[in-house]
Structure 1
């Protein structure tokens, strides 16, 4: 059973609780654009997963059927305990290699791009991790962990990791020795040199203590969150391809064919010598660190936030009905969500084309809604059409009225 679907409402309730805690403590761990960007990558990841989850499940099922050394019973408590522990060990190595190899970091870096640290960061997930992550979980298939048990413990592992993405919980004494906590996971998300590439466990921090990758959060070294090659964008699509583009550019520039191929599998940060000499990357000075920020009016923030909320509902509909929807419906739904999130990212960056793209997005809603019943996404009633037309009209009026209050930044 995949427990994530049932947990989504609780995620948002806990985010609201954290916002109240921020207000009560008079701190600010949230910025509107950063939170929307994190949640956008989460929505994009879950909807992309509807199209790609077969990669991991099919390969696992194949390995279970043809390569398993034993057949374990799904109704045994000990099988569940074994699977839960073994899954976290496999996750540790996937997570560690995700930091230590270029091609895996290209996928995993999405989760680390936020320069804030809050519960919305936990939902900031990659859309391309499915390409290689399945390899690391094959040991569970080899020992005969049933598919339904594998899916369930994977969900439980991910659920556990949600609560550790907060700055409101201090160190937890003896618990720190055995389990991943907010404190040791804050260290994991920091870009300070002392914290770099540490604390990879999902549930158990014991793996890090065992394999020499543990680092305690230090009072003398407050974590600075983010990545050493900053995203500097609020666009969830660019967030997912940023490092792939950098690798592809370096591969194209490399003089030797050997370097063009091996750059993908070398340790994170490795670049061909000729490329590094001609195209040096300037790493930011953490002593001068400033978070990425784009000036936005309150009206812009409210508008984008409201539109994003509606797309969250669309993503939730796809997630809850994904098993029953035909493939063309999932493709249409994903395209609808992805294009909208792209436009919102452009708006949050205050690009000069933002208003034009928003107008095109609103205009596209009508033909998309007309196409939806044809591919089996949903049926729309007369009331539904009235609601859509009203929403589109009100949004268009809001965009028209906002145009005089927005000062777009020049596109870089």
Structure 2
């Protein structure tokens, strides 16, 4: 069962409730472009999972079948309890190394790039974590945890982590000693030096207390969210590529072949001495920290919101039906989603070429629909073409009507 798919409506319901709590308490934990960017990264991640999760499933299944030391039964409730705790232990080390090694941080940094902290941040997930993430869960296969149990407890672990991404819940007393809470997870998302690289557990904070990585949220040190190398973009594709690109640039610039290789696996932030000397990196001054923002008119914001809703619906449909498609169909679905979210990012950044790129996106829907029908991913017939025509017409109106209205109202 795909628990994440069924949880999607509840995610958005809780986000809506958090927005109401914001208004009631006079807080501003949401900004439209930041929230859409976080959610876009999440939609892209789930869509990418159609193509990439086979890596983890195949390696786990092979290790369990051929190298499992014990035969643990799905029928035994204690196996589920053991697997739930063991999964979080493995997650702790996956998460910790994701902060401590350059190439792993390149994948995980996506989750930390938001400079706001709210429930949409929880859905801001990487699309490249599959490259190394599967390694950390092989111990579960080796002790005989069945794949069904592994997948289920993994989904439950991820679902638990959703609620801790909020500023509205204070410290929770004794609960803070055992479980991950909003307070100790706010610490994890901070870029304050005292808070960085702390509180790695997914469900249980006990691993951090045992291994010396726990840090309490301090009243005298308000959390500043984000990363020390700011993304400064609303583009989910660049969000996934930013740190890889930085590592690649440094690897190319390094004179030593050994440095070109080891930079990927050194501690996060390590750079070859010759590169650091020639190309120093300036870190933001937290005392004068200003969140990234791009001015965008209300009509353009509304247009972006409606287009994003369309992609959420499309992404949910892909998540529900795409698993049964052949590789070609999955690639088509991913390409359609990735390009659309990229264009939406340029729109939110108010790029001069954003309207022209939006035209290209609308036109690209025509061959995409034709291919989808040829591959029998969508039913043949005129209904889909009629819907696409209506959608395209409304989109064109959305692109140009606000601009025409602004031109008429402008003083002469």
Q: Name the CA distance, whole Å, in 2 between partners of 1:376 and 1:134.
A: 33
Q: Residue in 1 aligned with 2:40?
A: 40
Q: Residue in 2 aligned with 1:233?
A: 233
Q: Residue in 2 aligned with 1:105?
A: 105
List alignment gaps of at least 5 residues for structure 1. Answer: 408-412
Q: Residue in 2 aligned with 1:348?
A: 348
Paired residue secondary structure (1:168):
coil
Is 1:399 paired with 2:399?
Answer: yes
Q: Name the CA distance, whole Å, in 2 between partners of 1:406 and 1:68.
A: 67
Give CA deviations for 1:165-195 in whole Å, capped at 9, x if unaligned. 0000000000000000000000000000010
Q: CA offset at residue 43 of structure 1?
A: 0.2
Q: CA offset at residue 401 of structure 1?
A: 2.3
Q: CA offset at residue 42 of structure 1?
A: 0.1
Q: Residue in 2 aligned with 1:95?
A: 95
Q: Residue in 2 aligned with 1:382?
A: 382
Q: CA offset at residue 406 of structure 1?
A: 8.1
Query: Given the superposition, is the C-alpha separation of residues 37 and 380 from structure 1 closer, same or farther in structure 2, using an over 3 Å criterion?
Result: farther
| TM-score w.r.t. length of structure 2 | 0.97
Query: Given the superposition, is the C-alpha separation of residues 193 and 95 from structure 1 closer, same or farther in structure 2, using an over 3 Å criterion?
Result: same
Residues 355, 403 of structure 1: 8 Å contact kept: no
| TM-score w.r.t. length of structure 1 | 0.97
1:151-300 mapped onto 2 (5 Å cutoff): 151-300=151-300
Q: CA offset at residue 399 of structure 1?
A: 1.1
Residues 108, 126 of structure 1: 8 Å contact kept: yes
Q: Name the CA distance, whole Å, in 1 between partners of 2:406 and 2:109.
A: 32
Q: Residue in 1 aligned with 2:72?
A: 72
Q: CA offset at residue 259 of structure 1?
A: 0.2
Residues 40, 236 of structure 1: 8 Å contact kept: yes
Query: Given the superposition, is the C-alpha separation of residues 395 and 267 from structure 1 closer, same or farther in structure 2, using an over 3 Å criterion?
Result: same
Give CA deviations for 1:338-363 in whole Å, capped at 9, x if unaligned. 00000000010111110100011111
Question: Higher mean Cα deviation, 237-246 or 318-327?
Answer: 318-327
Q: CA offset at residue 403 of structure 1?
A: 3.9
Q: Residue in 2 aligned with 1:148?
A: 148
Query: Given the superposition, is the C-alpha separation of residues 187 and 405 from structure 1 closer, same or farther in structure 2, using an over 3 Å criterion?
Result: farther
Q: CA offset at residue 318 of structure 1?
A: 0.5
Q: How many residue pairs were aligned?
A: 407
Query: Given the superposition, is the C-alpha separation of residues 406 and 112 from structure 1 closer, same or farther in structure 2, using an over 3 Å criterion?
Result: farther
Q: Residue in 1 aligned with 2:62?
A: 62
Q: CA offset at residue 376 of structure 1?
A: 2.6
Paired residue secondary structure (2:194):
helix
List alignment gaps of at least 5 residues for structure 2. Answer: 408-412
Q: Name the CA distance, whole Å, in 2 between partners of 1:328 and 1:357.
A: 25
Residues 297, 406 of structure 1: 8 Å contact kept: no
Question: Higher mean Cα deviation, 180-189 or 383-392?
Answer: 383-392
Give CA deviations for 1:40-70 in whole Å, capped at 9, x if unaligned. 0000000000011100000000111111111
How much is the aligned-residue C-alpha RMSD, in angstroms? 1.1
Q: Residue in 2 aligned with 1:410?
A: none
